[in-house]
Structure 1
Amino acid sequence: MAVIGARCSRLMLPLLGGPRYFHCSSRNSSPRVAVVLSGCGVYDGTEIHEASAILVHLSREGAEVKMFAPDIPQMHVIDHSKGQPSQDSRNVLVESARLARGDIAALSKLSARDHDAVIFPGGFGAAKNLSSFAVDGESCSVHSEVERVLQDFRNAKKPIGLCCIAPVLAAKVIPGVEVTVGQEEEQGGKWPYCGTSKAIQAMGGKHVTKEVNEAHVDQAHKVVTTPAFMGQAPLHVIFDGIGSMVSNVIRLTSK
């Protein structure tokens, strides 16, 4: 047991009713990172590849990870085999638990005091469940718990990471924040969601153009963003861009 280390032994604490960790590390001071999910599935929840990439990169950074999601109904449910709405009704927290392998808590329990950083994967759940951006565009509202979390981490001067469509959350909540969702022109279909950059500017944010494998760091607000699936690119390139975002988030924690 001594070889494993004291931090890894925390994984046994659920047997005694103690806290659970998704990952263990041999570091003396591992960064504690919260990941906020919005369901399970690109069209109505969290983009699964993005969430997985974030968790892999956080594991490589030796981070302790805890996942959260709002305990609310989804806006709607999409049959991913057809790309069409179904009549099902699902809960965001329950669906997010699929990605978290059951180790998840309600977003209301997330506090900046307990974590060094927070990261939001993309997927349309960020625009449908965490906000109303998919329906209302620049006039959207952000879920009250999501807004609270973003403001808490901002006020605590702790880093916030977002990818894909999720940067719109920061643009709506943090005045003057710099984010990227990729390029501002479609470029022959390579950037099908480029119009999002204009909505970000209309909400008072500053948009910075980046490629899929890049991340933008707003040093003043400690907000790190990367385009991910906003652009058409091979999966490994998207994975690399998310890795750049995660690495910069960890760097900003100074751990």
Structure 2
Amino acid sequence: MTKIVVAVKYVPDATADRTFESDNTVDRENVDGLLSELDEYAVEQALQVVEAGDGEVTVLTVGPDDAADAVRKALQMGADAGVHVVDDAIAGSDAFATSLVLAKAIEKLDYDLVFFGMASTDGGLGVVPTLVAERLGLPAVTFASEVTVDGDTVRIRRDGDTATQTVEASGKVVVSVTDQTGEARYPSFKGIMAAKKKPVDEWSLADLGIDAGEVGLDNAWSAVESNSPRPPRAAGEIVTDEGDGGVKLVEFLAGKKFV
């Protein structure tokens, strides 16, 4: 049986107006949130692996109370169980502290593989999978466009700008997948109803043996010094075609150095 842990993140809706707290952290309380779209691909790939053989998928998230919605969405897609690490001291943690919490939580779980999305849609750093792999002492095969699991061997295809690589690793492995792996499934009505009965454990930092002084904004390696609203979009220029529309278009593009 292949046991897969999928780390997911609850992020602010990218279509909503984002604001910041007084400490320059993102306001996550007054904006709708959801399961990061890029993490849906990781959930999908994990489900495909266990459906092709025998196994189970546990979804893991770190975040405030509302982050339980991200776990619930993954359970509706077909994951078997969830773990939610929630603690006020975690607020404002950077990628390094987040990787510590995730690694400690994963160590408490019975797993063979750990799946991540390629990055979160709010931070976009893409470093957490590798940081977690380093903390766990595991190989990491990242930015997978295709994932194949054969026994205890994981093989991925990584598509670059100029070449395609095939990378494989054996044993326990950390895998990150891109949005090129295939569309994630939508939860069915049956899946939505079944998710209500699936177990979700809630852990604190104390449960993981982590001191509050190791995480949080005060212990972050980087900080946002200031922020300002995006300037309003300027009105476009209307060109009346009097037979020279093509010329005016080229002049406009040349003036913007597009051509």
TM value normalised by structure 1: 0.37
More helix by share: 1
What TM-score, normalized to structure 2? 0.37
Q: Which has the higher strand share?
A: 2
- Larger of the two Rg values belongs to structure: 2
Q: Larger RCO: Structure 1 or Structure 2 (Cα < 8 Å, ≥ 6 residues apart)?
A: 2
